[in-house]
Structure formats: structure tokens, C-alpha cells
Amino acid sequence: MEENRRIFIRKLCEALEKRGFVTSDPDLGGLVSFELIARREQEKYIIKILHNVDTFRISNAIEMVRLSRVTGAAAVVIGERAGNGLLEDSVVYYRHHVPIMSPITFMDYVDGRKPNIFSGPGGFYIPINGVAMHTIREKLGYSIGFVSNKVGTSRRSISLYEGGSASTIDVYTKLEELLRYDISSSIDILKIVNEIELPADDPGEINEFIREVIDNIVKTGYEFYSMKKAPFDAIANRAMDTMFLIGLFESLSEKMGRALAIKNVSEIFQTEPLIITRMETTKDNIAKCPVVSLHELKEASSKDSLEMIIERKKNLQ
């Protein structure tokens, strides 16, 4: 099963690269909340790959959405089945509000053929372009009552559709036949993820080292977002400033794999990698990731001094 998964990830990378994407390494080392990061110019995706999407956990969903919000990437799960059945192509599913697609649906999506069907309680639904429906209805001279009678639904339902609510496929088909116009609305997965309500960030139990890092990062004016199942431990960013993917290393022994993963993901996201260590060290970088000791971080009392430290270390690479 694991070998099949690796083959699938490799094939997905090849398919994305043929379409002009750059992708992260298939093996990012250790448990992660995602398998791939892919970018094509400003179009970015955080991708989780599962054989059965029922195994997608809420902790993974929260982390993917949080990372999506900070980086501007769209979070998506690519899966093959849910329960005992295969995922239908051209349909968007959801687990913990995160969009889920079959491999074919996702490749159609990145090729510009966005789906307009999603799975919900009781069946499949189509989101309606309410403005287009209202405009066409009035242009044809149809009243809400006339449309509701022809379609076989309530006037309130017609008003809700014109307000942007989704309908069942059966109702949508009748509406399209009556109005002689495609009034569906395609599904934008980045918009969906941006609308998900996240719980407050719970860093859990943190040791003195991590607490000091957080306090000193915040002191320089950056926002700090902890991550639990990513190659990096945190993201620090500030509006109109550099974003850092941060690895928190108690020591620098045997950390090359994680450093390489942090560097790789930061290149795809077009952010800066940064390693912060508790130990005093003479190393300026690991795997071309600048290394800053906790002592140096404490000395950085302003954004300029912090960025000057990092710039100096980058120049030594």
C-alpha cells in the first residue's frame, strides 16, 4: 500500500510539472499534514493524499487551513474512495469543510475546468449564480411564482436560489431547461477554505525554549503560527514583510533531513527558511537555511536587527 502511494505521488508530481507547476519533494521526512506543495506562478496548492478520505482527521484539516490562510495557497485533499465507494469525478466532497477531489477532478480543476457539483447531506448539489438567475428570469418576464410552479418547488426556494443557494441536480436541471441558460456557479476551493472558521490556535504544552522563541519573534513585530505536523514548527509573518518557515531545533545534531525539507517547502512557497536553536553555535546555516541561536534572537530588539542577522548569515552561504 505504501509503495502504491509513493507511485501515485510521483505520478501526480509529474502531471503537475507538465502543467508548469513546481512541486515539493515527494518525501518531506516525518509525519506531515500534507504530502505536496505545488505552485504555478501565484497559483498554490497544499495537497493531502489519501486512499480513503474517511481517515482525514480534523487536526490535519485545521493545520492545512491555517497554512492556507497564511500562505495564500488552496488546501485540497486528493482521494480515491469514501467508505465503500469510489469518489465520483467532477464532484467536490468535503471532510471537516476541506474540499476533497478525485485525481481526475483535481487535474481538471488545475486545467481550468472547475467543477460545479458538490456532495452534501442527501445527495449532490449545484451552486447557483443567483445574480445570473435573477437577471435571466426578469429578462424572460417570468415571475417567481411562475418559475416555482414550473420547477415544482416553493417561491421561497426560488428566492433562495437567486440569493446564491445551491439546489439539487434535479431542480437545477429543471431551472436550466426553463431559463435556457447555464446559471451554475463553479467551485473555487481557495474561496471555500478562506471561509472556514478556525478554532483559536492552541499551542498545547510548550517548553521554555519555544516560549522564549515565541516571545522574541512577537517582540520584533511578527505574528507567530505554530504547526504540529509539518516539516517546519512555525510560520512567522508580518504584512508587507518577509515570511519565515521556522524550524525550532533544541540542538543541531542529526537535523539535516528536516532542514532540507524546510528549505524545499520554503522555495515552493517563495518564503524564507529559518532555523532557531537553543544552543550557541558557530554554524551560519544548515542545508542553506540560516541558523539563529536563541541568544541572537533575544539580542534582536527590532525588525532591522533580526533581518540583519539573517541577511548576514545568508551572505555567508
**pTM > 0.85:** yes
Just give the CATH number of 208-315.
Answer: 3.40.1350.10
Q: Note whether 56 and 101 are within 8 A (CB).
A: no
Q: Note whether 306 and 297 are within 8 A (CB).
A: yes
Sort residue 180 into left (φ over 0), alpha (ψ -120 to 50) or beta. Answer: left
Q: Spell out the SS3 assignment of 221-245.
A: CCEEEECCCCCCCEEEECCCCCCEE
Q: β-strands 98-101, 74-82: how paired?
A: parallel
Longest dimension (CA), the chain: 79
Just give the CATH number of 2-115+189-194.
Answer: 3.40.1350
Residue-level pLDDT at 195: 85
Residue-level pLDDT at 311: 74
pLDDT tens for each residue of 34-92: 999 999 999 999 999 999 999 999 989 999 999 999 899 999 999 999 987 999 999 99
Which of the following CATH numbers is that of domain 124-179: 1.10.10.10, 1.10.3720.10, 1.10.260.40, 1.20.1250.20? 1.10.260.40
Q: Which of 12, 62, 84 is nearest to 229 (CA)?
A: 62
- Asked whether this chain's domains 2-115+189-194 and 208-315 adopt the same fold, the reply is yes
pLDDT tens for each residue of the chain, 317 residues long:
677 788 888 999 999 999 999 999 877 766 678 999 999 999 999 999 999 999 999 989 999 999 999 899 999 999 999 987 999 999 999 999 999 999 999 999 999 999 999 999 889 999 999 999 999 999 999 999 999 999 999 999 999 999 999 999 999 999 999 999 999 999 999 888 888 887 766 656 678 888 889 888 888 788 888 888 888 999 988 876 788 999 999 888 767 888 999 999 999 999 989 999 988 887 888 888 889 888 888 887 655 566 767 776 666 55
Q: Note whether 120 and 126 are within 8 A (CB).
A: no
Domain ranges (residues) in the chain: 2-115+189-194, 124-179, 208-315
Residue-level pLDDT at 193: 86
Residue-level pLDDT at 43: 95
Residue-level pLDDT at 200: 67
Residues 122 and 133: their CA atoms lie apart, in Å, by 24
pLDDT tens for each residue of 281-301: 878 888 888 898 888 888 876
